Amino acid sequence: MSVKSAFHFMSLFSDTKAILGGFRITLSHMLRKPVTIQYPEQKRTPSPRFRARIVLTRDPDGDERCVACYLCSAACPVDCISMQSAEREDGRRYAEWFRINFSRCIFCGLCAEACPTMAIQMTPDYEICKRDIMDLVYEKEDLLIDGCGKDDSYNFYKHAGIGVTQPRGAGLEESKPVDVRTLMP
């Protein structure tokens, strides 16, 4: 037997072994327990930071957090957020109407990241299929929830320091405004 044919013979041997090894692996998988989750009956619990249906939250005092700053709308890569800003008697801004088109939303979470007031937040509720595509356009009353969502102690106006909900200087990280006249020499 020449060297070359001996080599061929060895490769026949190792090839056969390799093929049979493949058969062994598929057989062992056949006998393994499937990893399938039977969806409508079994549901996996998504993690709290799962990105699905979007909500608008309220601050701990029960007021709407959203100040209609349009940052979420600007951040959204598919332009599916639209709103109209307005101002209350006391100077606090709010959205007159606020609309998210979930049929376009790609659940990227950029809106939630952009929001300075933690108003807009992602929730793990992923079951929002609808028969009619127009039902996926959520208005403000569909989006607004009663709770605070994830950051339940955060209140934008307590930190921002503009005198809307409290007099100037009454915020958490603020000191009282200085009366410049007292500084005179």
Partner 1 sequence: MTAFYLDIALFAAKLGLVFFVILTLAAYLVFAERKILAWVQDRKGPNRVGPFGLLQPLADLIKLLTKEDFVPAAADKWLFYLAPAMAAIPAILIFAVIPFGAPLTIAGRQLPLVVADLNVGLLFFLALSSIAVYGVAIGGWASNSKYSLLGGIRGLAQLISYELSMGLSLVPIVMLARSFSLTDIVEAQATVPFIVYQPLAFIIFLISITAECKRIPFDLPEAEGELVAGFHSEYSGMRFGLFFVGEYINIIVLGGLATTFFLGGWHGPLLPPVVWFSLKTLAFAFFFIWMRGTLPRLRYDQLMHLGWKVLTPLALVNILVTGWWLVLIR
| Residues 140 and 65 sit within 8 Å (Cβ to Cβ) | no
CA–CA dist 151, 115 (Å, integer): 13
Amino acid at 65: R
Torsion of CA 23, 27, 30, 32, to 10 degrees: -130
164 lies in the binding site for ligand SF4 (CB under 6 A): no
Contact map string, positions 33 to 62, toward ligand SF4, x by CB under 6 A? ---------------------x--------
Contact map string, positions 26 to 45, toward partner 1, x by CB under 8 A? xx-xxxx-xxx-x-------
76 lies in the binding site for ligand SF4 (CB under 6 A): yes
109 lies in the binding site for ligand SF4 (CB under 6 A): yes
The piece of 6-14, 98-106, 157-165, 172-180 that touches ligand SF4 (CB under 6 A) is 98-106
Sign of the dihedral defined by the CA atoms of residues 48, 51, 54, 57, in that order: positive
| Residues 52 and 128 sit within 8 Å (Cβ to Cβ) | yes
Binding residues vs partner 1 (CB under 8 A): 19, 22-23, 25-27, 29-32, 34-36, 38
